[in-house]
Amino acid sequence: PPSMAATRVFARMSSSLAVAAAAEAEAVAATRGALGSIPAGSCASVVGEASTSEELRACMIGGCCGKDTPLLGLDAVRSRMPALPRWALSGDCKSIHQSFVARDWSAAMGFFNAVSVIAEAEGHHPDLHLENWREVRVALSSHAIGGLSLPDLVLAAKFDAIPMAFSAKWLKSPEAAAFRQAPATAPAAN
């Protein structure tokens, strides 16, 4: 049988191993946080890891967007961009945007109106641009914090679910590849 001294040494080793395991778990959690987790207070309600378009659409911003909104780390943004194939990260990594050509003026304005309803309900608003009566550009950034936050990605996913009538000619262009593969849209016309 082990001696009393050996039992004490084993107990200290077990305790040291438990402390080391806890420290390692904290380090892994911290690394995971740096590599893509969501900062506390990002949204009123977060679904899953908010890493798929479905999870992002299910999140609720709830007006949690202002100077206290936490920035989303670049790794967290990049790890979620595959869920938003229609969106591109800006060169300075402070915003995301998408551009497309609507079927006509009515389709472009219908999209803007649907965006407005979502933005008002969530308490976070995009920059909307319309040129040449049907060329749409949408940009998302949390201006109050000078970069991207989870609410920007949540809105992007929700905007992607809006039925849209795109220009049939534009849909054939290389720029429209992500829109051809993404969620179903309304019928296209010239």
Span between the terminal Cα atoms of the chain, in Å: 87
Instruction: Say yes or no to pLDDT of 129 above 60.
Output: yes
Instruction: Say yes or no to pLDDT of 83 above 60.
Output: yes
* Span of 4-8, 61-65, 92-96, 152-156 with lowest mean pLDDT: 4-8
Instruction: Say yes or no to pLDDT of 183 above 80.
Output: no
pLDDT at residue 63, as a whole number: 75
Instruction: Say yes or no to pLDDT of 120 above 90.
Output: yes
The pTM is what? Answer: 0.77
User: Which one, of 149, 187, 142, 159, lies nearest residue 53 by Cα?
Assistant: 159
Q: Give Rg (Cα) of the chain.
A: 23
Instruction: Say yes or no to pLDDT of 25 above 50.
Output: no
